[in-house]
Structure 1
Amino acid sequence: MELSDIDLNLLLLFQRLMQERRVASVAEQMNMSQPGVSNALAKLRSRLGDPLFVRGPGGVVPTPFALRLAEPVSQALATLHAALNPVTGFDPLGATRTMTIGMTDIGEVVFLPALLERLSRDAPGIALNTVRNTGVNLSDEMADGRVDLAIGLLPQLKGGFYQRRLFDQRYVCLFRRGHPLEDAPLTLAAWREAEHLVVVSAGTGHGQVDEWLKRRGVRRQVRLTVPHFMSVGYILQRTDLIATVPEQLALQLAKPFSLSLRALPMKLPGAPIHLLWHARVQQDEANRWMRGVVIDLFADTDKHGLAARPAN
């Protein structure tokens, strides 16, 4: 027998008869006439090939087949009811799930420590998983529900996405403490003549710095090029190279790697860092709660009043 052969209302009637054992009571509860209940029961008997209920003292008595059927039908109906009427109010303390966030290697350094610290206190049952937008098709992964949120400079996420601006990422110059530039003015000439560590992080948006410099003919002495930011602290700590990096990353690296950061001798365009999510999870309470945590931890205080808007 296929599920399409059974009317859901007949299963509801079956459950009520199991509970009440009286046709008149079920008819009143389901706003039906007693003949209507009897006709519906006749259809269900025909579909299942069993009498299901027989007359007894004061009402009806279930057959052995009906007794075996009662629990799975009740569970199935309860599952459907719960799915169609979800409990409102997300409880982070009691939640147990894994949430996936798309971010760059910079994001892992800048966002994860504070985020995990907050979750350990407010939502200890929530685990995090991160993916790189350069390693997956982030748009498809979020549309299909495999990635819950994304943080960064992600202009490719447009139609079907919401975004909330967190802050404008500024760039600074980073080098080891004791570097010859530490006690000297960081002029444009000094910056150009120093040996540079350059990060070519394809697909992250931070390549806009190199494009900006090229368009304006600003040349520098590039000694080393690497494809990610993870090695920056280790390299700068032991060399006289300098690097132009996002300010939030520099602040995280300065203390553990004994580095100094200085304002650049030119004004580079800031990179707008957004929190993004797909329209399919706009009303999801767990996602909404996590978005609130990210905004509370990382959004500029003067931008807290900005509402989320569709990405474009």
Structure 2
Amino acid sequence: MANFDMNLLPIALAIFEERSVSAAARKLNMSQPAVSIALNKLRTALSDPLFVRTSHGMEPTPRAVTLISPTRDILQRIHTDVLASEVFNPATTSRKFTIALSDIGEMTFLPKVLDRFQRDAPGASVASVSMTPLELNVALENGEVDLAVGYFPDLKNRNLFQQRLFSHDFICLLRADHPIRSRKISMEQFLKLGHAVIKAEGRSQELFEQLLIKKKIQRRIVLSTPHFMSIPFLIASSDLVVTVPRAVGASFAQFSNIRLVEPPLEIPTFDLRQHWHRKYHKDGANVWLRTILAEMFSGD
């Protein structure tokens, strides 16, 4: 039985139900000779004629009758457990989704994502994590992280898919009642002011710093910090200026005594993308998560 061909079972079932080799062939979309050959193989394997031609059609032997019930069970289990696609229902899921977010990700993405979850997946939860590129590659592969969303130039694993969501740029922040009142700061003002500089784990801030080095622009740095969250309090109570990704600046301006000012030089934009592993490309939950992110943020 180690060499038994399981593909013969559907043919036996079709002959049993149709009581005819030719009718079974039509049902299975096979040729009649192919069904006859398969029946002969089955007879040899089980040492029984299985079906006998009578005036009422192909009648099953007792051995064939005992074969049919387990055959139906086997084929049904294959259909439901193996072949059927898993249907993900966000409305009933209690799954925790883990998203790796870059430095600006939580401010840009999480509020809208949580609002969408409350409407469409009220039983689900979200975990935001921060990892090194090496750790993140492994976490995406083993399913510890569902998506990496943001600016991740170091994610270059060939087994990772990616989708661009939108392009982003930079903005300067001043306190609302700062002496500089214009909507765009001049280069002269930019160089005279004291600057706060964020040296965060994320890579997006590096783009601005590298541009300044390339153009040989030297600021007067008064404060360096690894944390974005202290920036609104520092800027609101000083004459300092800081340059941050626009989404960060827009978030701070909503809740603090902060004003947005265009920078004095043209700064290249950068793309925010979502990344996922090839293993989970067809996973229903992963498909749903990245689909709603694309709906909410593509083209922003």
SS at match of 2:255: coil
Alpha-carbon displacement from aligned partner over 1:148-178 (angstroms, at most 9, x marks no partner):
1111111111211111111111101012110
Structure 1 partner of 2:171: 172
Distance in 1 separating the partners of 2:189 and 2:154? 36
Q: Is 1:288 matched up with 2:298?
A: no
Structure 1 partner of 2:100: 102
Q: Is 1:111 matched up with 2:109?
A: yes
SS at match of 1:251: helix
- 1:204-219 counterparts in 2 under 5 A? 204-219=203-218
Distance in 2 separating the partners of 1:81 and 1:184? 64
Mapped contact 2:107–2:247 kept (Cα < 8 A): no
Distance in 2 separating the partners of 1:35 and 1:285? 41
Mapped contact 1:103–1:151 kept (Cα < 8 A): yes
Alpha-carbon displacement from aligned partner over 1:172-203 (angstroms, at most 9, x marks no partner):
10121101123586210101111111011245
Which segments of 5 or more consecutive residues in structure 2 lack a partner in the other structure?
Answer: 18-38, 49-64, 67-72
Task: Number of aligned residue pairs: give it.
Answer: 257
SS at match of 1:168: strand
**Matched letter for residue 232 of structure 2:** G
- 1:257-296 counterparts in 2 under 5 A? 257-296=256-295
Cα distance, 1:81–1:243 mapped onto 2, change above 3 Å: same
Structure 2 partner of 1:42: none
Structure 2 partner of 1:56: none
Shift of 1:98: 0.9
Shift of 1:78: 8.4
**What is the TM-score when the length of structure 1 is the normalising length?**
0.71
Name which of 129, 132, 135 aligns with 1:134: 132
Distance in 2 separating the partners of 1:231 and 1:33? 79
Structure 2 partner of 1:64: none
Structure 1 partner of 2:89: 91
**What is the TM-score when the length of structure 2 is the normalising length?**
0.73
Name which of structure 1's ranges 250-259 and 175-184 shifts more when overlaid on structure 2.
175-184
- Cα RMSD of the aligned pairs, angstroms, is 3.5
Distance in 2 separating the partners of 1:197 and 1:279? 41
- 1:2-151 counterparts in 2 under 5 A? 28=16, 36=46, 82-134=80-132, 137-151=135-149
Distance in 2 separating the partners of 1:222 and 1:79? 68
Distance in 2 separating the partners of 1:185 and 1:209? 17
Shift of 1:257: 0.9
Structure 1 partner of 2:296: 297
Shift of 1:85: 3.0
SS at match of 2:229: coil
Distance in 2 separating the partners of 1:281 and 1:146? 11
Distance in 2 separating the partners of 1:264 and 1:173? 6
Mapped contact 1:198–1:225 kept (Cα < 8 A): yes
Cα distance, 1:134–1:247 mapped onto 2, change above 3 Å: same
**Matched letter for residue 210 of structure 2:** E
Distance in 2 separating the partners of 1:212 and 1:123? 42
Distance in 2 separating the partners of 1:117 and 1:136? 31
Distance in 2 separating the partners of 1:185 and 1:128? 38
Structure 1 partner of 2:31: none
**Matched letter for residue 203 of structure 2:** T
Cα distance, 1:181–1:124 mapped onto 2, change above 3 Å: same
**Matched letter for residue 263 of structure 1:** E
Shift of 1:102: 0.7
**Matched letter for residue 247 of structure 2:** Q
Structure 2 partner of 1:201: 200
Cα distance, 1:205–1:241 mapped onto 2, change above 3 Å: same
Shift of 1:204: 2.3
Cα distance, 1:97–1:201 mapped onto 2, change above 3 Å: same
SS at match of 1:186: coil
Mapped contact 2:184–2:262 kept (Cα < 8 A): no
